[in-house]
């Protein structure tokens, strides 16, 4: 069976900059392995539903709870890749940090975090599918702003 993980692409809007340059994405760097960067996410516990996992992992890994976030409707990305020979599916919802000054609080699983614009976020993310997800989030937010 495929390994399954869920999380949030979290962004904040800088008040002092006009759109679309005001969007920054949150990436966390693992304290283990190759120290890769991803949005907050993690494995689904037995019996847990996907969205609950995304919320739980975001709280555990970034210290950000439901009340800190504004969910963006209609955005869900599914990534499929292999980890140590096993298929893995990762689901990302999209959420805005309501107060852009809220502090991120890391757990032991991560050693660093960054708020970055899309270009820098894609450099950190490294994997094409995650870069595509971040780009899709940026486009989605830009399109929403024009409606």
Give the list of residues 6+ apart from residue 36 with CB closer than 8 angstroms, or none: 29, 30, 126
Read off the tokens for 95.
């959420």
CB closer to ligand 86P out of 76 and 83: 83
Q: For residue 41, state whether it binds ligand 86P (rule: CB under 6 A).
A: yes
Q: For residue 29, state whether it binds ligand 86P (rule: CB under 6 A).
A: no
Q: For residue 53, state whether it binds ligand 86P (rule: CB under 6 A).
A: no
CB closer to ligand 86P out of 41 and 68: 41
Using CA atoms, how far apart are residues 121 and 29, in angstroms rounded to an integer? 12
Point out which residues pair with 83 in neighbouring strands: 86
**How far is the CA of 54 from the CAs of 18, 51, 81, in angstroms?**
30, 5, 18
Ranges within 66-105 binding ligand 86P (CB under 6 A): 79, 81, 83, 88
Ramachandran category for residue 19: left, alpha or beta (phi over 0 → left; psi -120 to 50 → alpha):
beta
Q: Which of 30, 59, 102, 135 binds ligand 86P (CB under 6 A)?
A: 30
> What's the closest the beta carbon of residue 4 comes to ligand 86P, in angstroms?
9
Binding residues with ligand 86P: total (CB under 6 A)? 18
Alpha helices in 11-147 (DSSP H): 50-62, 118-125, 128-145
> What's the closest the beta carbon of residue 131 comes to ligand 86P, in angstroms?
8
Ranges within 4-23 binding ligand 86P (CB under 6 A): 5
Q: Which of 13, 120, 127, 140 binds ligand 86P (CB under 6 A)?
A: 127
CA dihedral 59, 128, 83, 89 (to 10 degrees): 60
The residues that touch ligand 86P, with contacts defined as CB under 6 A, are 5, 30, 32-34, 36, 38, 41-43, 79, 81, 83, 88, 109, 127, 129-130
């Amino acid at each position: 069976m495929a390994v399954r993980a869920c999380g949030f692409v979290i962004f904040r809007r800088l008040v002092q900059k006009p759109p679309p340059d005001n969007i920054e994405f949150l990436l966390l760097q693992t304290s283990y392995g190759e120290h890769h960067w991803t949005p907050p996410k993690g494995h689904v516990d037995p019996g847990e539903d996907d969205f609950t996992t995304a919320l739980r992992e975001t709280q555990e890994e970034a210290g950000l709870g439901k009340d800190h976030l504004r969910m963006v409707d209609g955005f869900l990305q599914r990534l499929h890749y292999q980890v140590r020979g096993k298929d893995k599916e990762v689901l990302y919802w999209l959420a805005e940090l309501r107060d852009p000054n809220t502090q991120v609080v890391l757990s032991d699983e991560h050693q660093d975090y960054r708020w970055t614009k899309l270009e820098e976020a894609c450099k950190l993310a490294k994997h094409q599918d995650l870069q595509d997800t971040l780009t899709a989030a940026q486009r989605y937010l830009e399109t929403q702003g024009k409606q």
